[in-house]
Chain A
């Protein structure tokens, strides 16, 4: 059976029955278009997740150390840093002191999105993306001497200091919570920057602690909360790393772990996995809906093909009389269903690709994931992220077309010639 012949016949039949054709294709078109949008959005979110985490060491853990204010000796930064030498799992430790309401100012202007974090020089091992594009990152002496120095994000240099050339920012003086800080480095720009990482600046944690004072755990006011980034030698040692710190807490407090101390720990791997699962879950649920629409579309194609078979009995009889065997007839109708669903898929893709792009332009973020929302990158327009959803959704539509074309095609091939030729 000639594929081109079947295509010609299919197109002419589609053309001859425009209303029926529209009714048949509606489900397919909507199903494919929505699947393209969903897959496109999902791949965008997925890309955002991996972009975000690629800035960090894959074996990084975020740890919140809780210590009872009254009942317990407290783990010091020195104790934590001691683990680098004593534990085989831990390779770097940095405190993290967020300076809330940092009020970052330069020449009387403030930068609203700015964030200030107090860390140690080891932070660079945990977030390798924090390379200084100009100047340098924090060094041990900055920490021990509680220097009022800062390494600023590229957006701070550009927007607050107005420096196109980052070298010009070095040596400038900024105000953080009213205190003067000298810029010693500018960080390389993060691209894409969905989480406003370019607005983050870093100061020695020792200096930061002076600004913030003691930090009491939110909701648990009789506990101190000390936050650390801990880097492990391998992602496989997440549990070992956590247990090492628990053991330290027990040792320092002189009580079993958990009695007067507590540890909240989260590895980037876990949160990345969670974020991915959230995206997959969302995409899965939405695709389920598209799938149902596609199925309805498939049933539509089946119905129309069944009607076409009984309408075209005579044609079937004639074809058989001139030598078509059963597989020839079956193939013809399967090909017609295939072409029809292909046509629906094409329309769906033509609608779905721009629709997906529009959704990603205006949606901003989706309220899922560990941090409560995942950002959509409106600039993500590379060919593969646009193409594979189109290919996948079309493939599903074509498969359904063939599946639902099978029954009518079977019916067609089973018709007896004499029955076809009778009036």
Chain B
């Protein structure tokens, strides 16, 4: 195992390709992506629909594997890991927030929040205590025993944030977390993400909303699977033109 030095990037993608072979044509969802993300950064990934944002995030989140290239997380070669080690990474290092909230409908809020703790082997009593604390943090402790369908979208997304935090992850991956929300609730969710970033967590956020993207410290813009911009949010290059016009 390579020694992870503090100055190394937390996330390092090198020349990553993801190619989908559909019949005759090959879709390059990622076409040679190389990027470093450091501990504590707040990065927004933007780009047109189909540009490869989700693919990129799924690879960073160990939900998917690239066709070629290399990926190091905290100095460790993720692609050399077995399923079990990757499950541990998802459990302890990574926290996910999805556009569709993706709460498990049959579980109540506490049980949903407890997932990462469950698979970390925490005792039921401790899990419950901690999940209540987390729900408290997102202002939903009073609904702990409700099921997701009894909540509004914004409330569900707050539960999802609490759930993402359950494993104390160093990295939070949010794929269009505000996409299904009105702008007011979206800003609220963004507020939570900023708070988490201030606590020192690395945030990677996919968004279509330029206003939200501009709140990040750094913007990565993808086009047809390639990085076409990586830098400060205030450059005109950072925004997605097509969507600005729309």
| Contact status of A323 and B64, CB under 8 A, knowing A4-B124, A12-B106, A315-B104 | no
User: Which chain A residues in 1-54 approach chain B with CB under 8 Å?
Assistant: 1-2, 4-5, 8-9, 12-13, 16
User: Which chain A residues in 299-322 approach chain B with CB under 8 Å?
Assistant: 314-315, 317-322
Which chain A positions have C-beta within 8 A of B42?
none
Contact assessment for A5 and B106 in the assembled complex, using a CB-CB cutoff below 8 Å: no
Question: How far does the alpha carbon of A79 sit from the alpha carbon of B90 in the complex, in Å?
Answer: 94
Interface string of B65-97 (1 = CB under 8 A from A): 000000000000000000110011011100010
Binds A, one of B1-9, B110-118, B201-209, B236-244: B110-118
Please give me the residue from chain A that is nearest to B166 by CB atom.
A322
User: Is A292 in the interface zone, CB < 8 Å from B?
Assistant: no
Q: Which of A13, A319, A326 has the most CB of B within 10 A?
A: A319
Which chain B positions have C-beta within 8 A of A416?
64
| Contact status of A323 and B91, CB under 8 A, knowing A4-B124, A5-B111, A417-B63 | yes
Please give me the residue from chain B that is nearest to A9 by CB atom.
B106
Contact assessment for A421 and B118 in the assembled complex, using a CB-CB cutoff below 8 Å: no
Contact assessment for B167 and A318 in the assembled complex, using a CB-CB cutoff below 8 Å: no
Contact assessment for A418 and B106 in the assembled complex, using a CB-CB cutoff below 8 Å: no
User: Is B98 in the interface zone, CB < 8 Å from A?
Assistant: yes
Contact assessment for A5 and B102 in the assembled complex, using a CB-CB cutoff below 8 Å: no
Interface string of A105-122 (1 = CB under 8 A from B): 000000000000000000
Task: Tell me the smallest distance from the CB of A419 to a CB of chain B, in Å.
Answer: 10
User: Is B210 in the interface zone, CB < 8 Å from A?
Assistant: no
Question: How far does the alpha carbon of A143 sit from the alpha carbon of B66 in the complex, in Å?
Answer: 103
Task: Tell me the smallest distance from the CB of A376 to a CB of chain B, in Å.
Answer: 48
| Contact status of A320 and B102, CB under 8 A, knowing A4-B124, A418-B58, A418-B63 | no
Which chain B positions have C-beta within 8 A of A326?
83-84, 87
Contact assessment for B107 and A9 in the assembled complex, using a CB-CB cutoff below 8 Å: yes
Contact assessment for B106 and A16 in the assembled complex, using a CB-CB cutoff below 8 Å: yes
User: Is A328 in the interface zone, CB < 8 Å from B?
Assistant: yes
Partner of A318, one of B64, B91, B104: B104
Which chain B positions have C-beta within 8 A of A2?
118, 124
Which chain B positions have C-beta within 8 A of A350?
none
User: Is B52 in the interface zone, CB < 8 Å from A?
Assistant: no
User: Is B61 in the interface zone, CB < 8 Å from A?
Assistant: yes
Partner of A323, one of B98, B106, B107, B120: B120
Which chain A positions have C-beta within 8 A of B167?
322-323
Contact assessment for A318 and B119 in the assembled complex, using a CB-CB cutoff below 8 Å: no
Partner of A324, one of B102, B103, B119: B119
Instruction: Give the interface residue-count category, chain B.
Output: 20 to 34
Contact assessment for B163 and A322 in the assembled complex, using a CB-CB cutoff below 8 Å: yes
Task: Tell me the smallest distance from the CB of B29 to a CB of chain A, in Å.
Answer: 11
Please give me the residue from chain B that is nearest to A327 by CB atom.
B84
User: Is A240 in the interface zone, CB < 8 Å from B?
Assistant: no
Which chain B positions have C-beta within 8 A of A4?
124
Question: How far does the alpha carbon of A317 sit from the alpha carbon of B63 in the complex, in Å?
Answer: 9
Contact assessment for B83 and A13 in the assembled complex, using a CB-CB cutoff below 8 Å: no
Task: Tell me the smallest distance from the CB of A8 to a CB of chain B, in Å.
Answer: 8
Contact assessment for B116 and A322 in the assembled complex, using a CB-CB cutoff below 8 Å: yes
Question: How far does the alpha carbon of A421 sit from the alpha carbon of B91 in the complex, in Å?
Answer: 17
Which chain A positions have C-beta within 8 A of B124?
2, 4-5
| Contact status of A323 and B104, CB under 8 A, knowing A4-B124, A5-B118 | no
Which chain B positions have C-beta within 8 A of A323?
87-88, 90-92, 115-116, 119-120, 167
Which chain A positions have C-beta within 8 A of B107?
9
Task: Tell me the smallest distance from the CB of A6 to a CB of chain B, in Å.
Answer: 10
Partner of A322, one of B58, B90, B106: B90
Question: How far does the alpha carbon of A8 sit from the alpha carbon of B114 in the complex, in Å?
Answer: 14
Partner of B96, one of A8, A314, A315, A321: A321
Contact assessment for B58 and A320 in the assembled complex, using a CB-CB cutoff below 8 Å: no
Contact assessment for B102 and A318 in the assembled complex, using a CB-CB cutoff below 8 Å: yes
Question: How far does the alpha carbon of A250 sit from the alpha carbon of B97 in the complex, in Å?
Answer: 100
Please give me the residue from chain A that is nearest to B106 by CB atom.
A12
Question: How far does the alpha carbon of A204 sit from the alpha carbon of B63 in the complex, in Å?
Answer: 94
| Contact status of A418 and B64, CB under 8 A, knowing A318-B104, A321-B90, A324-B87 | yes
Contact assessment for B106 and A314 in the assembled complex, using a CB-CB cutoff below 8 Å: no
Contact assessment for B102 and A314 in the assembled complex, using a CB-CB cutoff below 8 Å: yes
Question: How far does the alpha carbon of A328 sit from the alpha carbon of B118 in the complex, in Å?
Answer: 10
Which chain B positions have C-beta within 8 A of A234?
none
Which chain A positions have C-beta within 8 A of B111?
5, 8
User: Is A325 in the interface zone, CB < 8 Å from B?
Assistant: yes
Task: Tell me the smallest distance from the CB of B147 to a CB of chain A, in Å.
Answer: 10
Partner of A325, one of B84, B96, B102: B84
Question: How far does the alpha carbon of A2 sit from the alpha carbon of B115 in the complex, in Å?
Answer: 11
Interface string of B23-62 (1 = CB under 8 A from A): 0000000000000000000000000000000000010010
Question: How far does the alpha carbon of A2 sit from the alpha carbon of B124 in the complex, in Å?
Answer: 8
| Contact status of A321 and B92, CB under 8 A, knowing A2-B118, A421-B98 | no
Task: Tell me the smallest distance from the CB of B242 to a CB of chain A, in Å.
Answer: 23
Contact assessment for B119 and A328 in the assembled complex, using a CB-CB cutoff below 8 Å: yes
Q: Which of B103, B107, B119 has the most CB of A within 10 A?
A: B119
Please give me the residue from chain B that is nearest to A319 by CB atom.
B115
Question: How far does the alpha carbon of A421 sit from the alpha carbon of B175 in the complex, in Å?
Answer: 12
Question: How far does the alpha carbon of A12 sit from the alpha carbon of B120 in the complex, in Å?
Answer: 23
Contact assessment for B92 and A421 in the assembled complex, using a CB-CB cutoff below 8 Å: no
Question: How far does the alpha carbon of A104 sit from the alpha carbon of B102 in the complex, in Å?
Answer: 87
The contact sample of 18 A-B pairs, CB cut-off 8 A, is A2-B124, A9-B107, A318-B104, A319-B104, A320-B87, A321-B102, A322-B163, A322-B166, A322-B167, A323-B88, A324-B87, A324-B115, A324-B119, A325-B84, A326-B83, A326-B87, A417-B64, A418-B63
Q: List residues of chain A with CB under 8 Å of any chain B CB.
A: 1-2, 4-5, 8-9, 12-13, 16, 314-315, 317-326, 328, 416-418, 421
Given contact pairs A317-B102, A318-B115, A418-B63, a sample of 18 additional A-B residue pairs in the complex whose CB atoms are under 8 Å apart:
A2-B118, A8-B111, A318-B103, A320-B90, A322-B96, A322-B119, A322-B163, A323-B90, A323-B91, A323-B92, A323-B119, A323-B167, A324-B115, A324-B119, A417-B58, A417-B63, A418-B58, A421-B98
Q: Which 5 pairs show the lowest CB-CB distances between chains A and B?
A: A323-B91, A325-B87, A323-B119, A322-B115, A417-B63
